[in-house]
Amino acid sequence: MFTPTITDGIVAAAALGLCYRLYKRWTALPLPPGPNGLPLIGNVLDMPKSHAWKTFAQWGDIYGGIMSVTLLGQPFVILNDPAMATEILDKRGNLYADRPTLEMAHMSGWDRVLGGTRYGDKEYRWLIGKVIGTKGSVVKFNAVEEYQANMLLKRVLEDPRGFDAATRKTMGALALHLTYGYKIKEEGNDPLVDLADKAVAEFSEVTRPGAFLVDVMPILKYVPSWFPGAGFKSLAKTCKKSSDDLADVPFAYVQEQMLNGQETESYVSNLLHEKDLSEERLNQIKWSASSLYAGAADTTVCVVTAYFLAAAKYPEIQTKAQAEIDAVVGQNRLPTLEDRKSLPYIEAICKELMRWLPVAPLAIPHRAMADGMYNNYFIPKDSLVIANVWKFLHDPNVYKDPFIFNPDRFLGPNPSPDPTDLGVFGYGLFALEPTSQMSRSGSTSQRLLRGSQSLVPLDSSGNEVDPVAETMDGIISRPIPFTCKVAPRSEQIMQLQEMLQICRAEDGQVFQVNAGVRDIERIGSLELFLHQETGIDQDSVLAYLPDGRRLTNTNIRELNGSQTQSIYVFNKYYLDLPLDDVLRELRVEAPLQPPIEDDIAATPPFRPSQLGASYLRTAHIHREHISHILSSLHAQHDALRIASTSLSMHVLAIVDTFEGVASSSRPRAREAGGAPGGP
């Protein structure tokens, strides 16, 4: 048993005294500087009505990298310096790892998505990371991304002035497919895309810090709806229904598809395959999916719309990018994600889009979980800490001419800082994974640059105008709507929209074919068409759609509804061979040999520069060969998944058949058992 001594008491008293002195020292420290406020209300009258990041940036020029304002007793600490933001929100992230309590978001039901969860609700992040948290895990969705990027180009060229609607439809379709395996209606408006558009716009509205007085004075949530100034309550009720529907409707769709054995691989279907899911885990899956969809759809729409604005405002950028794509890709196909590593200027465009008009100018606000101190300033517990990312990305000391769209700033021997290092994806636990966002915007930009020749901005009367590079207000900030006419580069580009992708399963070879369903019908035989394109004997062709359905001459038109416009072709010839013979025929032997004298084309002794150049050439050949093998393995993996899906569907059909036979036999068996002379 512990018995305190006099020494223990002295030590404890000294420790308490030290803590008290530190506390007094902290509380004696001033808040970060800022505009003088009024008694009781503080800086309520100083706060900007919209585009707060611009006002905060102006204040930062006066008060420095860290400043503060107070609204009705609620401190807001604003960071206008990226180094300070990194130090406070990343390096001291545990102290600022909570989100602010936004009462309006809570009343609207948006506290259940990732953007509104409090510290400790890490399950959402774990679930999302489990399915799509790494580069390797998102590779399986590359085909869907490329297909939707292609569809965006097609939709834009079919309706040259409807690029805004085409962008929202395409990004919604992509996010719905990745999250729920849902395929949108191609004709007209899709109900789920419309629902998500409405819900995400409402989310951006109700989560703006300081936008609603109830966020600062939560007691206002108890006032009756008829009370003057209580219009926020009816808005919250409307938003609550939208947030519920966005979570419930597509989630129920996946559950129904899985019951029927017809689900497409997606974030939700992958997680629902786990055994013994509790009600709590189902709820986590549902709301993390809603978070994933809302974030993926809305942020990508912002970036792609910014691309249209940049291409219209700076046509010389588009011309330079198209020249790079033509040099790498050629004229006979559209670029793919595999081409990204060979397109540095396109990569620079993606970075500049993130910097020029950042999607989240103030990132996601953080909340101080305890009293803190920084640079001899006191940061009280429950302070809202906001990183002014817009200021970081428009600092003329960091980016020359920051309001000009200039991808070249990220090229050359001394490139400007990468926006992903300056908070464009957030800080601490709230930081987003940039890989998939950059992938989606990059793939889309490639296709648009390859296919569109001119983007002419127009006013409401159809006259050409100079578009304004400005964004709407909100936690997610889209460019201001504008009208633009898009023209195709050539007739050949229009033909490329009809490209089919055929995967030969036996070796993973992928063929890009400039043909469509009409061409197959014109030939009169799917087997003959696939024989001509892949070399597989007509009698040995087995064709499947990406969802595992068998493709034949009778259902060939279903190819038009295929999400990835792909055909997977299997060779029945190999089904009749022993496994050893199959492996022997399909074995890939990489020609990884060192350079020889003929390669060097000189007589010994060789100069080091000759050897170095030869080894470098050989290394490039080996690298290309390995990349080809890797792509083939990915294609073979996809083909095996298709075969497995098809087999599962056949097994389920057989089981259903046997269950039906058994069910119909039971009454007859009972009758026979009860008949005279029966057992």
Q: What stretch of H or E contains 76?
A: strand 74-79
Task: Tell me: pLDDT of 648 over 70.
Answer: no
**pLDDT tens-digit map of 137-160:** 566 666 677 777 777 877 887 777
Q: Is the CA virtual torsion 388, 394, 395, 398 positive or negative?
A: positive
Task: Tell me: pLDDT of 453 over 60.
Answer: no
Q: 494, 517, 543: which is the final residue of a domain? A: 494
Q: Is the CA virtual torsion 141, 123, 201, 51 positive or negative?
A: negative
Q: Which long-range contacts (CB under 8 A, 24 or more apart) does 232-238 make?
A: 232/104, 232/107, 233/107, 235/108, 235/206, 236/104, 236/107, 236/108, 236/206, 238/202
pLDDT > 90 in the chain, percent: 19
Closest listed residue to residue 194, CA positions, set 226, 165, 155, 158? 165
**pLDDT tens-digit map of 245-303:** 998 999 999 998 888 877 777 888 888 888 888 888 888 888 888 888 877 777 888 88
418 shares a domain with 533: no
Distance CA 27, CA 13 (A): 21
Closest listed residue to residue 337, CA positions, set 451, 411, 447, 433? 447
Closest listed residue to residue 641, CA positions, set 577, 550, 546? 546
Task: Tell me: pLDDT of 657 over 50.
Answer: no
Strand order in the sheet with 74-79: 66-71, 74-79, 384-387, 366-367
489 shares a domain with 542: no
179 shares a domain with 195: yes
Q: What is the band of 132 on the pLDDT scale with cuts at 50, 70, 90?
A: low
Taking CA atoms, 52 is separated from 125, 389, 424, in Å, by 29, 12, 17
Task: Tell me: pLDDT of 397 over 90.
Answer: yes
Residue 224 lies inside a defined structural domain of this protein? yes
Kindly give the residue spans of alpha helices, DSSP state H, lying in 82-226: 82-85, 103-107, 123-132, 135-138, 142-158, 163-180, 191-206, 213-216
- What value does the mean pLDDT take over residues 87-102? 85
592 shares a domain with 466: no
Residue 598 lies inside a defined structural domain of this protein? yes
Crossing angle, helix 344-356 and helix 279-313, to 10 degrees? 100
522 shares a domain with 398: no
602 shares a domain with 507: yes
Q: 445, 471, 494: which is the final residue of a domain? A: 494
| N-to-C CA span, the chain | 79
DSSP 599-613: HHTSPSSPPHHHHHH
Residues 6+ apart with CB under 8 A from 677: none
520 shares a domain with 449: no
Is 372 within 8 Å of 427 (Cβ atoms)? no
Neighbours of 207 (CB within 10 A): 26
609 shares a domain with 564: yes
Q: 494, 520, 539: which is the final residue of a domain? A: 494
**CB neighbour burial string for 521-560, b if at least 16 within 10 angstroms, e if fewer:** eeeeebbebbbebbebeeebbbbbbbbbbebeeeeeeebe
pLDDT at 679: 40
Strand order in the sheet with 541-544: 509-514, 499-504, 566-571, 541-544
- What value does the mean pLDDT take over residues 128-142? 61
Q: What is the band of 407 on the pLDDT scale with cuts at 50, 70, 90?
A: very high
pLDDT at 55: 96
Residue 97 lies inside a defined structural domain of this protein? no
Q: Which of 7-16, 163-172, 182-191 has the highest mean pLDDT?
A: 163-172
Task: Tell me: pLDDT of 335 over 80.
Answer: no
212 shares a domain with 173: yes
Q: Burial, 430: exposed, middle or buried (Cβ in 10 Å; 0-12, 13-18, 19+)?
A: buried
Q: Burial, 598: exposed, middle or buried (Cβ in 10 Å; 0-12, 13-18, 19+)?
A: exposed
- What value does the mean pLDDT take over residues 481-508? 71
Distance CA 673, CA 667 (A): 10
469 shares a domain with 550: no
pLDDT at 65: 95
List the single range of 365-369, 454-458, 551-555 with lowest mean pLDDT.
454-458
pLDDT at 597: 45
Taking CA atoms, 332 is separated from 336, 364, 572, in Å, by 13, 44, 31
Helix (H, G, I), strand (E, B), or coil: what is residue 247? helix
Number of domain units in the chain: 2
- What value does the mean pLDDT take over residues 351-359? 94
Q: Which of 192-196, 329-333, 390-394, 484-488 has the highest mean pLDDT?
A: 390-394
Residue 663 lies inside a defined structural domain of this protein? no
- The single-letter DSSP state of residue 99 is -
Q: What is the band of 354 on the pLDDT scale with cuts at 50, 70, 90?
A: very high
522 shares a domain with 376: no
- What value does the mean pLDDT take over residues 213-231? 84
- What value does the mean pLDDT take over residues 327-347? 80
Structure tokens at 437: 């966002």
CATH number of the domain within which 472 lies: 1.10.630.10
More confident of the two residues 410 and 498: 410
Residue 368 lies inside a defined structural domain of this protein? yes
Q: 483: domain range? A: 110-494
- Tell how many helices (H) and how many strands (E) occur in the chain: 23, 12
> Rounded to 5 degrees, what angle do the CA atoms 456, 462, 468 make?
55
pLDDT > 70 in the chain, percent: 67
- The single-letter DSSP state of residue 271 is H
**pLDDT tens-digit map of 594-634:** 554 444 454 555 556 656 666 666 666 666 666 666 666 66
pLDDT at 569: 86
Q: Which of 153-157, 199-203, 394-398, 477-481 has the highest mean pLDDT?
A: 394-398
Residue 208 lies inside a defined structural domain of this protein? yes
Distance CA 489, CA 502 (A): 26
Q: What is the band of 109 on the pLDDT scale with cuts at 50, 70, 90?
A: confident
Residue 330 lies inside a defined structural domain of this protein? yes
Task: Tell me: pLDDT of 175 over 70.
Answer: yes
pTM beyond 0.75, yes or no: no
Distance CA 611, CA 657 (A): 68
Is 44 within 8 Å of 71 (Cβ atoms)? yes
List the single range of 365-369, 609-613, 638-642 with lowest mean pLDDT.
609-613
Neighbours of 352 (CB within 10 A): 24
Neighbours of 240 (CB within 10 A): 17
Q: What is the band of 668 on the pLDDT scale with cuts at 50, 70, 90?
A: low
Task: Tell me: pLDDT of 350 over 70.
Answer: yes
| Cα 112 from chain centroid (whole Å) | 19
502 shares a domain with 473: no
Rounded (to 5) percent helix, strand, coil in the chain: 60, 10, 35
List the single range of 3-7, 82-86, 160-164, 533-537 with lowest mean pLDDT.
3-7
Distance CA 589, CA 582 (A): 15
Helix (H, G, I), strand (E, B), or coil: what is residue 7? helix
Q: What is the band of 572 on the pLDDT scale with cuts at 50, 70, 90?
A: confident
Q: What stretch of H or E contains 259?
A: helix 231-259
Whole-number mean pLDDT of the chain?
Answer: 77
Helix (H, G, I), strand (E, B), or coil: what is residue 468? coil
Residue 345 lies inside a defined structural domain of this protein? yes
Helix (H, G, I), strand (E, B), or coil: what is residue 486? strand
Q: What is the band of 56 on the pLDDT scale with cuts at 50, 70, 90?
A: very high
pLDDT at 529: 87
Task: Tell me: pLDDT of 556 over 70.
Answer: yes
